[in-house]
Amino acid sequence: MTTFPKSVVIVGGSIAGLLHGVFLKRHGSDVTILEQDHSAIRSSHNAGICYGPSVQEFLRLYDDTNIQSCQAGVITKLAYRQNIWSRDTDIARHLTSWGVLYRILRANFDGLSSEAVSAPPAPRAGDGKANYWSGKKVTSLLKTDYGLLVGFVGDDGREESCTADLVIGADGLHSTVRSLVQAPVVKEYSGYVSWRGSVCEVDVSVETASYFQDRTVLGLLKRTYIVCYIIPPDSASLVPGTRLINWTARHIHTNTVPSGLVCDEVWKEHLAEMLPLVPPHFTELFLKTKNPFVTKVNDALCSQAVFLDGQVLLVGDALATFRPHFALATEHAARHCLGLGRVWRGEMALGLWEKESLNYATKIWLGSRVMGAGLLRGWAEFLLIAWKYVVLFARSKLGT
């Protein structure tokens, strides 16, 4: 027997919130998403995102837009220091931008029309109701006799509330829901930042464009690395000549600069350090980037996902935020959602879903730390974290 919840409030309207929103709506639940950001449609600053098999499966089952959501990168190319020499691997990745994935999910959830999806699909027979309320910051959560009472503050400062049978905290790294249920969490700044940017492929030379064509290029430098791949702009166009070459470079840094506010001097200083170290195609890409931005790399791991007798759940980055080296954030969110489907279909206990989610999260959280230490830190830190990973792996095999 299926027992999908009747009414659901999801806190956070980014990728995890929308994946759960679309999923529940398609199974007949009435869903309201509360998102603190007030923009009608959000920008991703043209930053790339990579997704895995669970997101692919999710889109196959629940996406009705018929929009090609990604560029399937067929190979990963490795470039070492200044060598143009590279090696092709057989690692395949699905590459897109946060903006495109967001627009596709919004079209399916509440029929939002955008430059990517100009004709959103009609609801399916049996779909529940779907509301996406922007500019609503959730501030309180109370269990009452008639369900959960979710309090939020609107853009105009007015306090409002709504009730639901189930509340899903999909509100990211700094989750309010996680604080409200006093979930145990370890949260840490990694000590490094990501510089990010993108350049349209027609704005670079033919040689540079073809070097980055249809593949992920991983440039390994001393205690720094760069990842480049092709992504669609927010319009979702994958027509050659309209796509963007997106790059991310990770560096040790004791502080951070808010995205969009990088001053020219800082960028020039950074370029002066980087350019002598990188192969020529990367040099052209950096020099032609108009609006680079910086994001701080943090991680967080919660040791509980289910609260208030199963009426509150934490998912996505709210449950665990990984350092981005494996690019598994969206995969992790989609796994939560598909796993909960098994719970609501009566195929799995909620406790088992929680256990599996926490095991997976802990492995990726620690694995990402090992990878980060190997690429950006010294040997001592790498060996220490690798040892912790081995212990964790052995303990999970022994079931302890």
Ligand X SMILES: Cc1cc2nc3c(=O)[nH]c(=O)nc-3n(C[C@H](O)[C@H](O)[C@H](O)COP(=O)(O)OP(=O)(O)OC[C@H]3O[C@@H](n4cnc5c(N)ncnc54)[C@H](O)[C@@H]3O)c2cc1C
What residues make contact with ligand X under the rule CB under 6 A?
11-17, 34-37, 42, 44, 47, 49, 98, 137-138, 170-173, 176, 316-318, 329-330, 333
The residue among 136 and 279 lying less far from ligand X, judged by its C-beta, is 136
Residue type, 269: E
Shortest Å, Cβ 217 to ligand X: 17
The residue among 233 and 316 lying less far from ligand X, judged by its C-beta, is 316
The residue among 86 and 330 lying less far from ligand X, judged by its C-beta, is 330
Shortest Å, Cβ 222 to ligand X: 25
The residue among 4 and 132 lying less far from ligand X, judged by its C-beta, is 132
Beta bridge partners of 98: none
Shortest Å, Cβ 229 to ligand X: 12
Structural contact between residues 290 and 339, judged by C-beta atoms closer than 8 angstroms: no
Distance (Å, rounded) from C-alpha 235 to C-alpha 230? 14
SS (H, E, C) the chain: CCCCCCEEEEECCCHHHHHHHHHHHHCCCEEEEEECCCCCCCCCCCCEEEECHHHHHHHHHHCCCCCCCCEEECEEEEEECCCCCEEEECCCEEEEEHHHHHHHHHHHHHCCCCCCCCCCCCCCCCCCCEEEEECEEEEEEEEECCEEEEEEEECCCCEEEEEECEEEECCCCCCHHHHHCCCCEEEEEEEEEEEEEEEEHHHCCHHHHHHHCCEEEEEEECCEEEEEEEECCCCCCCCCCCCEEEEEEEEECCCCCCCCCCCHHHHHHHHHHHHHHCCHHHHHHHHCCCCCEEEEEEEEEECCCEEHHHCEEECHHHCEECCHHHCCHHHHHHHHHHHHHHHHCCCCCHHHHHHHHHHHHHHHHHHHHHHHHHHHCCHHHHHHHHHHHHHHHHHHHHCC
Shortest Å, Cβ 39 to ligand X: 9
Shortest Å, Cβ 259 to ligand X: 9
Q: How many CB atoms lie within 10 A of CB 85?
A: 10
Q: How many CB atoms lie within 10 A of CB 189?
A: 14
Shortest Å, Cβ 266 to ligand X: 21
Distance (Å, rounded) from C-alpha 131 to C-alpha 125? 17
Shortest Å, Cβ 138 to ligand X: 4
Shortest Å, Cβ 290 to ligand X: 17
The residue among 76 and 176 lying less far from ligand X, judged by its C-beta, is 176
The residue among 307 and 382 lying less far from ligand X, judged by its C-beta, is 307
Residue type, 290: K
Shortest Å, Cβ 178 to ligand X: 10
The residue among 172 and 279 lying less far from ligand X, judged by its C-beta, is 172
The residue among 9 and 366 lying less far from ligand X, judged by its C-beta, is 9
The residue among 86 and 334 lying less far from ligand X, judged by its C-beta, is 334
The residue among 11 and 167 lying less far from ligand X, judged by its C-beta, is 11
Shortest Å, Cβ 152 to ligand X: 7
